[in-house]
Amino acid sequence: MVQKQDLVIFNDRTVLPDFKNHGHTLTHITHKLGTSPTWLLTALIETHIHGVPLSLNESEKSNGKIPIVNKSPIYISSFIHNESYSEQHFQNKISPQSGYYILPNLMEEIMKCTINTHNNGNNFDGLCSYILKMLKVKKEEQEQQTTIILEEPQLLLALIPNLKARDILLKLITPISQIFQRVIVVTNIELYDNDATAESIEIKKFIQTIFYRSIVQLSLKPLETGRANDVTGTLRITRGGCASAVDNTTFVVENEYLYHVQKKSIKLFYR
């Protein structure tokens, strides 16, 4: 029987960079069709709140009440899913009272921006102002350092005409990184691999820049040999382009896991 392994990203056996020892950091999660990142996001949210990823390797079955070790909030902002979808998937694993918050659905504002852009020219600045104002209000409600998950922001490049990767990076990602100490960006990289349209080229530029800004890259891929009953896919951990942002004593442990998504837990194995 293959031995299950704990998720370890840094050499001090932690999963997320410590608020006390690091400045503002960016973590990049990439995935492909058939490898939903929801289980990994759940593990990161659990780590932020409880200090450990409870849903991995049946850790959540430990006896006794699970303590909340970090009272600072973690926010989830999705550019692809509405609030009910996020609530359904995360509340199955994590109590809403634990300290995570699903931000209002941005799709309505994005559609307004798209329509206004068609009618009156680029209105992306207005969308950025709306998003940043909302995030600043949330941040000002908390005195602690906070974390935010941005799910599929590259879709803006496909939805808003003539938008460039540098626009999102300079007007949205950079300001958000200044508001929140930990930023986790999730991107689907498969939809644009073999597409030479202007939008796809900009999306590739965006994804590459996020990698260069990140301290760690978490890549989810399906098995190259196809499906298996006891393995769902692979999780590869590599240093990001800005790995030097971590302090001198902490570094990313590059590794690769096999993972198996089950109904009540996720199992990890070294590959």
pLDDT digits (tens, 9 = 90+) for 210-268: 999 999 999 999 988 777 788 999 999 999 998 765 667 788 999 999 999 887 778 99
Residue 86: what pLDDT? 72
What percentage of the chain exceeds 70 in pLDDT?
A: 80
Q: Which of 218, 190, 203, 189 is nearest to 159 (CA)?
A: 203
Residue 53: what pLDDT? 87
pLDDT at 78 over 70: yes
Maximum pairwise Cα distance, the chain: 63
Q: Which of 249, 176, 173 is nearest to 211 (CA)?
A: 173
Parse the chain into domains and list their residue ranges. Answer: 25-270
The radius of gyration computed from the CA coordinates of the chain, to the nearest angstrom, equals 18
* CB distance 271 to 256 below 8 Å: yes
pLDDT at 91 over 70: no
Q: Does domain 25-270 have CATH number 3.40.50.300?
A: yes
Of the two residues 219 and 118, the one the predictor is more confident about is 219
30: CB partners within 8 A, 6+ apart: 186, 187, 188, 189, 207, 217, 218, 219, 220
- Would you place residue 206 in the very low, low, confident or very high pLDDT band (cuts 50, 70, 90)? very high
- Would you place residue 96 in the very low, low, confident or very high pLDDT band (cuts 50, 70, 90)? low
Full-model pTM: 0.89
* CB distance 240 to 28 below 8 Å: yes
pLDDT at 159 over 70: yes
Q: Which of 88, 136, 78, 87 is nearest to 108 (CA)?
A: 78
CA-to-CA distance for 125 and 164, rounded, in angstroms? Answer: 12
Query: Which amino acid is it at 76?
Result: I
CA-to-CA distance for 65 and 95, rounded, in angstroms? Answer: 12
Supply the DSSP string of 88-110, one letter for each residue. HHHHTTS-GGGSEEEPPP-HHHH
Residue range 195-217: average pLDDT? 91
Q: What are phi and psi of 177, to 5 degrees?
A: -65, -25
- Would you place residue 63 in the very low, low, confident or very high pLDDT band (cuts 50, 70, 90)? very low
Residue range 69-94: average pLDDT? 75
